[in-house]
Amino acid sequence: MPAQAGGAKPQTGAIAVVANATDPARRPDVLFRVRRDEDHQISAWWPIGAFLAVSAAAIALLSFVPGGA
C-alpha cells in the first residue's frame, strides 16, 4: 500500500479502523464478533454439541450412499 502524503486521512473507513485499532483481535469491523471479557471461557458443552451435530450430519449424508449394509 502506498504511503500517505502529509498525514492525510485514509481513503476508506476500514483502513481507519485498522489503523486506529488498539487490539486488532477485537476490531469492530469483523462480522459475527462477540465481545466478551478477556477471562471469559466458553462452556465445554459447545464443542461437544458441535461434534455430535457434525457426526449426525455425516451419518445422515452417508445413509444416502448406495451399496451400504
Q: Are 10 and 4 in contact (CB under 8 A)?
A: yes
Q: Are 10 and 19 in contact (CB under 8 A)?
A: yes
Total-model pTM:
0.48
What sign does the CA torsion over 20, 26, 32, 35 have?
negative
Per-residue pLDDT, 32: 73
pLDDT confidence tier of residue 67, bands split at 50, 70 and 90: confident
Average pLDDT, the chain: 76
